[in-house]
A and B are shown apart, each in its own frame.
Chain A
Amino acid sequence: MTENEHSVGDGLRSVPHTDSLVGDGAQSVPHTGSAPTLRLRGVGRRFGGLLAVRDVDLDVAQGERRAVLGPNGAGKTTLFNLICGDMPVSSGTIELYGEDVTRSPARTRVKLGLARTYQQSRHLLGLTVEDSIYLSIVGVEGGRMRPVILGRDSERRERAREAANRVAIEHKLHERVGDLSHGEHRQVAIAMALAAKPRMLMLDEPASGLSRGERVLLTELLLGLDPAITLILIEHDMDIALRVAQSVTMMHDGRVIVEGTPDEIRANQTVHDLYLGRHE
């Protein structure tokens, strides 16, 4: 992966910092420099009579740290599912790295460098922690399972162990994933996403299920992430979300209703009324 030419600050300019934050946040803004790594236009998703996501425009620049916030049921996870290709859109288009992926299956998007985690971790319970992480690397890079013995394989094993280390699960490398606790499953899921060396990392509530200390570690990990990696984060722990994010997209009833910097979000009355409550 090449070093991102644009500083993190450049990426931020793509976010509309309008004075009237409410209502027009989702409008597209002309881009300076390279095209956004992710561009959504008019994206919607219907479940029967329920419009879970409606008319979402979203631009995320390379290397940007973007948080997606919103009340429960706002459509955040559905939006993730649409971006990743886990479910098809009902309307609109999705571009990833300049390519229209609206109709592409999830695996195509993974090959383009997208990795995500889920709220409820999905694991092969019979595998060990190390094998799970290793397989997530092979899945992205190797294409097919085969006995690979030489240097490349041990390099991948090493990367798997290193990823386990970064999420503090290295003491359980050789345990079956099925024997781990819920919180540990989440740690493994983050390690699997990281080990695949994604260009774009999408984390769905990564801090939930983690203890105080594990959250501190997660925050450090996210703050120390390679600046070239684009991060999109759904997170209800504001100590993490507003510290890690450079820009915030706030959703409500399937729509993007506010975009802004963490400071602008903290100061926004609508966000407090709908989402933060009295949280400082």
Chain B
Amino acid sequence: MSEAAPASSAPAETKVLLEIEGLDAFYGKAQVLDDVNFRMGHGSVAIVGRNGMGKTTLCNAIMGITPPTATGSIRFAGEELVGGHSYRIARRGIGYVPQGRRLFPSLSVDEHLKIASRGAAEADGEAWTRGRVYELFPRLAERKRNGGAQLSGGEQQMLAIGRALVTNPRLLVMDEPSEGLAPAIIENMVETFQQLERDGLAILLIEQNLGVATALAERQLIMVAGTIAAETTANALSSDPELQRRYLGVEPLAH
């Protein structure tokens, strides 16, 4: 899979899409993000790290979801996002696949996609339609009229991804998109996102499945205790067990 990784992030360097500077985030008094800094262009970026390091909080801060309370700067295509409303941030062209799917139990698959596409941004390339989502996830087409509560976990995940895509995002923020998906579906999804990236979609990916993270993003940012502790490449991370142990590993006390 890694052969098909994004060819190069060189052109991306020239045009910054997302720029985060000195970002802190708090839940009440508890500080979860501590001086996060990075910028990305159109090449995909994966953020990896152990549980509880602040990865989801970073996504929520970008999307303007509160809590947390964020301070510092998040600029998207030059515009400041910190302090902005979620719906406005989404309409600027950031799609979000949140952890835990967050669907409406009483709305059908089709209704979810219809509602999400209402505020859709103008597409740079081929616009996302419900039909295109159903092509990507044929299983969803079979469940078109089923309510969110009747879907299996994996089907909910497909719908959460589809719902983000029909907004025609320029940047797609995905918090563990592979969670709960069967291996063949993950394979299909990775190929689709590789294609979308070649077509110009930027992807910021939080992912615990290292195979997926390294297949989709050349740049790997490692998050430790609320900050970006290191940056490495997909190749370096997947081929270096020591690096994996140091940043993604667990040291059980009872040994």
> Chain A: residues with CB nearer than 8 A to chain B?
47, 50, 70-74, 76-77, 119-120, 165-166, 168, 170, 172, 179-184, 187, 205, 208-217, 236-238, 274-279
B244 touches A77 (CB 8 A): no
B143 touches A208 (CB 8 A): no
Check B183 for interface membership: any CB of A closer than 8 A: yes
Q: Choose one: B30, B151, B153, B253; the contact of A179 (CB below 8 Å).
A: B30
Contacting A at CB under 8 A, from B168-224, are 176, 179-188, 208-210
**Alpha-carbon gap, A179 to B51, bound state (A):** 12
The answer to whether residues A278 and B252 also contact, given A73-B143, A211-B51 and a CB cut-off of 8 A, is no
Some 16 contacts from A to B, beta carbons below 8 A apart, are A72-B185, A119-B153, A119-B180, A183-B52, A208-B176, A209-B176, A209-B179, A209-B208, A210-B51, A211-B49, A211-B51, A216-B249, A236-B183, A275-B182, A277-B183, A277-B187
The answer to whether residues A238 and B183 also contact, given A72-B155, A165-B253, A170-B253 and a CB cut-off of 8 A, is yes
Q: How far is the CB of B204 from chain A (nearest CB, A)?
A: 17
**Alpha-carbon gap, A70 to B186, bound state (A):** 13
Q: Choose one: B150, B154, B210; the contact of A50 (CB below 8 Å).
A: B150
Excluding A184-B52, A214-B250, 5 further A-B contacts by CB distance (< 8 Å) are A208-B176, A210-B208, A212-B249, A236-B183, A238-B183
Q: Report A-chain residues with C-beta under 8 Å of the C-beta of B180.
A: 72, 119, 205, 208, 236
The total of interchain contacts (Cβ-Cβ below 8 angstroms) comes to: 123
> Chain B: residues with CB nearer than 8 A to chain A?
27, 30, 48-52, 55-56, 99-100, 139, 143, 146, 150-155, 157-158, 176, 179-188, 208-210, 244-245, 248-250, 252-254
**Alpha-carbon gap, A238 to B183, bound state (A):** 8
Closest-by-CB residue of B relative to A76 is B152
Closest-by-CB residue of B relative to A239 is B211
Closest-by-CB residue of B relative to A205 is B180
The answer to whether residues A275 and B249 also contact, given A50-B150, A181-B52, A212-B244 and a CB cut-off of 8 A, is no
